[in-house]
Amino acid sequence: MLSNSILPDPEVPAKATRRRFTAAEKARILDAYDGASDIEKAAICRRECVYSSLLSNWRKHRSTGKPFAARRGRKANPQAVEVMQLQKRNAVLEQRLEKAERVIDVQGKVFTLLRAVAGESADQLELPPWQKSSSK
């Protein structure tokens, strides 16, 4: 009679995930594969769950001098990246401008309030330089 620990788990994952190798793992596997005999090469492929064609692709990639960690796919459009950076910077600067305008408005109100508390009438109040109109 077989014990429960020997039986494999019958559950199948809902979706298979693709195995990803780090640059260090790729280099380690390639080094071990390159220095092995034919039988050892087959054992390495079985142990690491890789095909020899994948190893040959890694070898070609390494011979070009590119790092293993290089990303695949489309390269980012440099102009689009720059536009995005400028848009973000513009949004930050607009927020800072809005905050500065609120601060200036509050400073004007505080100035007016302090002058009123000091006993000056509203007619005698001298406006701060930033609230003076240039149309005299």
Structure tokens at 21: 């190798």
- Is residue 30 a contact partner of residue 62, using CB atoms and an 8 Å limit? yes
Checking if the pLDDT of 136 tops 50, the result is no
Name all contacts of 4-9 with Cβ < 8 Å and 24+ positions apart.
none
* Residue spans of alpha helices (H) in 70-119: 78-117
Structure tokens at 50: 């890789």
Checking if the pLDDT of 94 tops 90, the result is yes
pLDDT per position as a tens digit, 15-74: 767 788 888 899 899 999 988 998 999 999 999 989 989 999 888 888 888 777 766 778
Lowest mean pLDDT among 56-60, 93-97, 118-122: 118-122
Which phi and psi (to 5°) does residue 108 adopt? -65, -40
| Residues 6+ positions from 27 with CB-CB distance below 8 Å | 62, 68
Name all contacts of 97-103 with Cβ < 8 Å and 24+ positions apart.
none
How far apart (Å, rounded) are the C-alpha atoms in residues 10 and 17? 18
pLDDT per position as a tens digit, 69-89: 766 778 778 898 899 999 999
How far apart (Å, rounded) are the C-alpha atoms in residues 122 and 125? 5
pLDDT band at 90 (very low <50, low <70, confident <90, very high): very high
How far apart (Å, rounded) are the C-alpha atoms in residues 108 and 130? 8
* Amino acid at position 49, single letter: C
pLDDT band at 3 (very low <50, low <70, confident <90, very high): low
pLDDT per position as a tens digit, 102-114: 999 999 899 888 8
Instruction: Identify the residue with better confidence: 5 or 21.
Output: 21
